[in-house]
Structures are given as structure tokens and as C-alpha cells.
């Protein structure tokens, strides 16, 4: 679980554990948001740097989660229940796909 204090001293906990071979990290993005990154714990052949992707953003004032548009831009607010361990972007499923989950 990600557990870290933002500048408001509130703690954000995700309702799931990081996927196998991955961990979460929270960093300061700007004065309004913190970024949550999904970081690989594996050793990669092509780089010695961390391999990471953006999971989502936390609004420091409201403590709400925002889905990422990309790693440089927060998107709209998303309910925590609609997120997955891999991303805060909600799945856009049709009724048949939803029934198969």
C-alpha cells in the first residue's frame, strides 16, 4: 500500500497492493498535485535507471484522485473504487465487458 504524507499532512492509502514486481512512489508534482508512480523493481537490460509509469495524481487540497492524461498532465477526478493497481484511469467497458469481469 502507498502510504505517505503530502504537504497537507494527510495520508493517502490505496485499497490494493502494488502488482508483483512493482511498487508505488509518491512525489511532488506541483503546488496543487502529488504524482503517484508505479515503479518496476526488476532489473532491466536496456537501462540502469528506474522504469516507471504514472499511476495517477492526488489533489493536495481535496485529497481526491485524478486520472492521468499523461505523465505531465492530471485529468478528471476519478472514484478510488474505479481505479486498478495498474492505473487510476477508469476502464471504459461496454455492458458485456462489465459482465465478464
Q: How does pLDDT run across 19-31, given as a tens digit for each residue?
A: 999 999 999 999 9
Residue 16 CA to residue 65 CA, distance in Å, equals 15
37's enclosing H/E stretch is strand 33-40
What is the SS3 assignment for 24? strand
Q: How does pLDDT run across 64-99, given as a tens digit for each residue?
A: 999 999 999 999 999 888 888 999 988 888 888 878
Number of domains making up the chain? 1
- 3 state SS for 41-82: CCCCCCCCCCCEEEEEEEECCCCCEEEEEECCEEEEECCHHH
pTM of the model: 0.78
Q: How does pLDDT run across 7-56, given as a tens digit for each residue?
A: 333 455 777 888 999 999 999 999 999 999 999 999 888 988 889 999 99
The domain of 25 spans 3-100
Amino acid at each position: 500500500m502507498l502510504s505517505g504524507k503530502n504537504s497537507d499532512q494527510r495520508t493517502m492509502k490505496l485499497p490494493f497492493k502494488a502488482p508483483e514486481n512493482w511498487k508505488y512512489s509518491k512525489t511532488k508534482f506541483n503546488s496543487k498535485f502529488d504524482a503517484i508512480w508505479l515503479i518496476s523493481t526488476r532489473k532491466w537490460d536496456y537501462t540502469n535507471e528506474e522504469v516507471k509509469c504514472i499511476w495517477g495524481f492526488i489533489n493536495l487540497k481535496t485529497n481526491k484522485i485524478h486520472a492521468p492524461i499523461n505523465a505531465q498532465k492530471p485529468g478528471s477526478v476519478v472514484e478510488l473504487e474505479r481505479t486498478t493497481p495498474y492505473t487510476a484511469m477508469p476502464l471504459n467497458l461496454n455492458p458485456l465487458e462489465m459482465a465478464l469481469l
